[in-house]
Chains A and B, each alone.
Chain A
Amino acid sequence: MNNFSYTQATAAKEATGRLKDQPQAAYIAGGTTLLDMMKANLTEPPQLVDINLLPFKGIEQTKDGLRIGAMERMNAVGENPLVKSQYPAVSESLLLAASPQLRNMASIGGNILQRTRCGYFRDEAFPCNKRVPGSGCPALTGDNHNLAVLGVSDTCIANAYPGDLSVVLAALDAVLTLENAKGKQRQVPVTEFYLLPGKTPEKENVLEPGELIVAVTIPAAAHAQRSTYLKVRERSSYAYALASAAVGLDVQGGTIRSARVALGGVGAQPWRSREAEKALVGQPATEATFKAAAAAALQGAQPRKENAYKVELAQNTLVRALQQVAGV
């Protein structure tokens, strides 16, 4: 770990100002991703700007939907009664993640920005195009059993976001509020926040230098209230998803009126599948419909030797999640 200075900001302006002065500085909230990476010499910010005192708080129903301050902690949101009753998939995704200790520390903003668990990215001894652009990607022909099959490129097949929450956010049309150094705020849908690797896997999202995540807003909807998050992993707890599905359905009289689908663990980013949604809306809520939707979601998958199983696993996971939500 490198030497670094540490300052605490009490206002957004102060925090963004620090990063304007020192563009290599990093924000620190819960630190559950950043400190791991610093200890492994994967990132070496000369300065940490602590944003834990920023007033980005609150879990409340607004006219636009559920607004969650970026500095709220994962457990607080996951256990919130409003979230549990109106946005169950959000709560489920948070409580299935990490461990209670980590969830008590990790912020919502930090969760959205967590980095890939690709073993080649996490070990500086390996080449990695995401970490050192142009150095190569051993995962293409190596250990890719838990890497992505959708949205990948021949420079990077990492699931850049390995977590759970953003999969649900992508499904439920959540919008991020961002604030830059000038104090100007903008709204970016989660589905447009993450970038596909293409030839620049080092660029993972649309955040401008120094820009902060202030809040995330999830529109209220029937499909949000009737939503679930299903996670498949190699052990029962404290493991990243091999595949996961966030789904929301509005079913009336056996017919699907609206549907929201996103997949985790299998995409280069949280993978919203509008193809699957198209295959669901207007159709009867049956296994046949769900299977057709799952097939549509995995169209275009680019599996490799060790992760080929994910094509089937992701489809089965999605079908199961849809069955659970539809109650069939």
Chain B
Amino acid sequence: MDTETAFFETPPQLVAVGQPLSRVDGRAKVTGAAKYSAEYNHLPGLVHAVVKTSDVAKGRVTSIDASAAQREPGVLAILTHQNLPKPAKTAETKEGQEAIGMAVQMTFMPLQSDQVFYAGQPVAIVVADTLEHAQHAAAKLRVTVTPEAPVASYQDPKAKLFNPGGKPDADAEGTKRRGKAAAAFAAAPAQVTATYTHATNHHNPMEPSATIAHWEAADRLTVYDATQGVSWQQRALSGYLGLPQDQVRVITKYLGGGFGCKGPIWPHSVLTVLTAKAVGRPVKLVLTRPQMFTSVGHREDQEQTLRLGATKEGKLLALLHEKTSTTSQWDDYAESNSKMMGMLYQCPAFEATTKLARANVMTPTWMRAPGEAPGSFALESSMDDLAYQLGIDPVQIRLRNYADKDPSTGKPWSSKSLKECYERGAELFGWSKRNPKNGLTRDGKYLVGWGMATATYPVNNSQGNARVRLYADGHAVVQVAATDLGTGTYTVITQVAADCLGLAPDKVRFELGDSVLPTTNISGGSMGAGTFASSVYTAAQDLWQKLTKMAVMDAKSPLFRAKPADVAVVKGRLQLKANPSKGEEFAALMKRGNMTDVEGFGQGKYGAGYETGLATGPAKSDDAGKEDGGGHAMHAFGAHFCEVRVDPELGTIRVTKWVSVVAGGRILNPKTARSQVIGGATMGIGAALMEQTVRDPNLARYTNANLADYHVPVNADIPDLTVEFIDEHDPYVNALGVKGIGEIAIVGTAAAVGNAIFHATGRRLRDLPMTPNKVLAAMSQPV
């Protein structure tokens, strides 16, 4: 144990880490060599499945006419609730949920009965020898659903609101309190009360979800699945199927984006596996783009009312938050907006209440910064209101409420460089030249405005395993059952492994995306880089310990009979701490021992901190995301600064200048990290200005489930974004000091845009997205 402690006290010499290494998988991607989940076409006898979905949002399947479809060429099977093999368990029971694990988000499994609960719910699966045959036969298949009147959303007059409090579901929190918020608000000299809405949003990764299921034996399954977490998916499928986990293998070598929608397991993956069982051949299912809107969750439509009470000097006295949102018929899911509200600013009294309405929609899910993204829109817009009301600069009012400890737990921060983010962001943007009055800057037809907002996201890194195999010839293979969403995981973990092993990055091959590799968590919640990096680091330490033990017992080694604790490893050389000239290269040691290679195995430390992890030992991987295990509150922070040009007559808004400064712990690779922040800010500008999925208020079916009518930003919408990082060393978060930056950049983005619009026009837009119709309506109102 003493040797282990000594090793942990010795950080690796960082050479590759921190360098802007280009993506190690870039060449494979641009040449087409990278294989995505739908591209394993070599499997013997591979056939194609197409899902037939319900047109209506509520009803019962009252007739199925497969006669015409059956006659189509190439058709192998038409599966409905009447003849699809049943899963061993579903998440509808508690026992099933335990077996299936963290990956389950929607407990309902379609095709188990005649009931239809949402538009787009699978009602049949058609299997044929080619995709075209399957599509054609599916069009000929008649499944009649006798419709009933659906509930479309929380706004539907038929909707019944309820408080989900008291249930163990961590996603929908009921009511949280500290202090006496209502009384403090009522007595506050300055008050801001406002209601915000957020449209339904969909993740829309470039790669649609896809599953290929291959039963290699009656009880042995391999699945090529577009998932953010092969280990989670493996466990979930083993639960659904009643198979031992090791008899299910899940492979995801490349992923074309996920943003959360490929984190959970969804029915299409399970149904593909059951279909493959039914037809006795490998089956491929690729969701169509319209099906991507009704199969893999969404960010729920929601309304937030926020009340801020403050002193005349702008110091917060009370914060009351109410959220109402739409969920499915079965699950109490609501993204947790109040989490960031309770911790971002020093405020003695706080109360947050969540209300839900059941509607005929599928269960919503995590979408990039679930909770923090919409929550920050409300909080940071209201903080801006407070600043104008009191005549205080928006940056100043945030500094006046700066939280030196986490107000929600009272714990000290593991590190916090938010002041530096404000300072550097303001400097890069030229904030000091801001006109304190709004609506005064014109450029021809345009009103020009500046706004800013704070960003934060928790450090969620968690338990995960890694294996490192170092060869005597000086190259290494590093393995984690991680996934790379396209964000750079292949690249940054290669850099980490290279430094931990004292090798050049091109001597390291990092393998991921296969559940036979060491189990780890999903790439989601911004925890991938921190978790994988820490487990690789500990695996490398394990490896060096083995070699150290060999050296001190090897009579031919210069380190013979040294105490292991006195030995350090510097760039692959084992040497005495006190006398570095005494030692040898690992290759010499291994060759003398006739070893071609040596392996190390590591477990990343639990998310409450590297320090606490050592003290308490590793926790179960299922405990990911819990923050209260350690002595510190752990968050990344950032600040966005935005300039907009508003055309007050045409209602169009253009973001013309943007600065994001992020303090996210150690930045493993500034190039891929910058891309992450650009992507997050772009997605946030999309949510601010254009993204919305519209559900028909009477039929509860989406009217724009395609990429022509669901608008995501195009290049012309996004200016040249300035991104910088604050150099931050956090000794608590994990072995490498990585906080994770996948989500923070979308947090606060919509508010920064809205605040800039307020500065430009004197009008506050509180309904996302801020489309031209809303700008015109606002402009017709008095300031």
Contact = CB atoms under 8 A, between A and B. Distances in A.
A313 B136 contact: no
A123 interface: yes
B714 A236 contact: yes
Interface string B30-56: 000000000000000000000000011
B694 A143 contact: yes
A142 B703 contact: yes
B32 to A, nearest CB: 19
A147 to B, nearest CB: 11
A125 B717 contact: no
B649 A316 contact: yes
Contacts of B10: none
Query: Which one of A3, A119, A138 has the highest number of Cβ atoms from chain B below 10 Å of its Cβ?
Result: A119
A106 B290 CA distance: 23
Contacts of B704: 119, 143
B57 to A, nearest CB: 10
A2 B139 CA distance: 8
Nearest to B445: A320
A61 B116 CA distance: 60
B568 interface: no
Contacts of A224: none
B711 A235 contact: yes
Given A125-B55, A234-B771, A309 B777 contact: yes
Contacts of A145: 694, 773
Contact of B705 (A3, A123, A236, A320): A123
A304 to B, nearest CB: 13
Given A1-B135, A3-B136, A309-B776, A125 B711 contact: no
Interface in B687-715: 689-690, 694, 696-699, 701-706, 708-709, 711, 713-715
A242 B690 CA distance: 13
Interface in A98-157: 117, 119-120, 122-126, 138, 141-143, 145
B703 A232 contact: no
B716 interface: yes
B709 A117 contact: yes
A300 to B, nearest CB: 20
A241 B622 CA distance: 48
Contact of A234 (B290, B696, B711, B715): B711
A125 B150 CA distance: 15
A142 B708 contact: no
A301 interface: no
Contacts of A3: 136
B697 A313 contact: no
A234 B650 contact: no
Nearest to B780: A312
Interface string A298-320: 00000000000100110011011
A237 B139 CA distance: 33
A126 B701 contact: yes
B699 A126 contact: yes
A313 B694 contact: no
Contacts of B567: none
B652 interface: yes
Contacts of B699: 126, 138, 142
Interface in B343-398: none
B772 A238 contact: no
A125 B147 CA distance: 12
A119 B773 contact: no
A46 to B, nearest CB: 13
A313 B779 CA distance: 12
Contacts of A143: 694, 696, 703-704
Contacts of B771: 234
Contacts of A82: none
A143 B714 CA distance: 24
B119 interface: yes
Contacts of B772: 232, 234, 242, 309, 313
A41 interface: yes
A320 B649 contact: yes
A240 B709 CA distance: 8
A238 B651 CA distance: 18
A141 B698 CA distance: 8
B203 interface: no
B670 to A, nearest CB: 29
Given A141-B698, A316-B649, A317-B650, A123 B703 contact: yes
A42 to B, nearest CB: 11
Given A1-B139, A232-B651, A313 B703 contact: no
Contact of B717 (A2, A124, A236): A236
B139 A120 contact: no
A117 B135 contact: no
A313 to B, nearest CB: 6
Contact of A309 (B652, B709, B773): B773
B641 to A, nearest CB: 21
A2 B136 contact: yes
A325 interface: no
Interface string A210-253: 00000000000000000000001111111110100000000000
A232 B652 contact: yes
A286 B650 CA distance: 19
Contacts of A313: 650-651, 772-773, 776
A119 B776 contact: no
A308 B454 CA distance: 36
Contacts of B777: 309
A119 B693 CA distance: 11
Which of A120, A141, A316 lies at the interface centre, i.e. has the most chain B CB atoms within 10 A of its CB? A316
B654 interface: yes
Contact of A119 (B445, B652, B694, B698): B694
B694 A235 contact: no
Most buried by B among A119, A122, A235, A317: A235
A119 B649 contact: no
A313 B780 CA distance: 12
A309 B119 CA distance: 29
Nearest to A239: B711
B139 A232 contact: no
Interface in B262-316: 290
Nearest to A118: B703
A138 B696 CA distance: 8
Interface in B641-694: 649-652, 654, 689-690, 694
Contacts of B652: 232-233
Contacts of A120: 703
A312 B776 CA distance: 8
25 contacts: A1-B136, A2-B136, A117-B709, A119-B702, A120-B703, A122-B706, A123-B705, A125-B55, A125-B56, A142-B696, A142-B699, A234-B689, A235-B690, A235-B713, A235-B717, A236-B654, A236-B714, A236-B716, A237-B716, A240-B708, A309-B772, A313-B651, A313-B772, A316-B776, A320-B445
Given A119-B703, A119-B709, A141-B698, 9 more contacts: A122-B706, A123-B701, A125-B56, A126-B703, A142-B696, A143-B694, A234-B771, A313-B776, A317-B650
Interface of A: 1-3, 41, 117, 119-120, 122-126, 138, 141-143, 145, 232-240, 242, 309, 312-313, 316-317, 319-320
